[in-house]
Amino acid sequence: MASIEIKTTVSFQDLLKGVEQLELNELEDFLGKVLKLRAKKLAPSLPAKEAQLLEIINKAIPASLSDQFIELDKKRNAETLTHKEHEELIEIVKKIESLNAERMEALAELANIRQVSLKDLMKQLDIPSIG
């Protein structure tokens, strides 16, 4: 794991500069930990079920999966994808779709618990809508 040199008292800007030094996989790990920390800070004011749903909603697609998708999609667009790579791309898309479906189910359940529309909940959580 990379080490980041920081002062004893760290300003927000210094912290951000330190985070900028991380490799992508380290950044994803850091982000996941920050999101869990955020959920814990919100948790005392949230019922356990809502906190659990927010953790699912905020779960990022793993960097390795995203990187594989990007590389294979570039090859697909360039029409240089092998049969084996095409099968791999299909499996990655299925995994990403599954994660997104799990996230949407959690969003719908949370909207139901809070008795708001899905669109309103997404606005509250600052989640951009598609389309």
pLDDT score for 6? 63
Q: Give the Cβ contact number of residue 70 at 10 Å.
A: 10
Give the dihedral of Cα atoms 52, 58, 59, 61; nearest 10 deg.
160
Mean pLDDT of 71-92: 96
- Of 1, 122, 9, the C-alpha closest to 57 is 122
Of the listed ranges 15-19, 78-82, 116-120, the least confidently predicted one is 15-19
Is 55 within 8 Å of 39 (Cβ atoms)?
yes
Of residues 130 and 50, the one with the higher pLDDT is 50
Does pLDDT of 131 surpass 60?
no
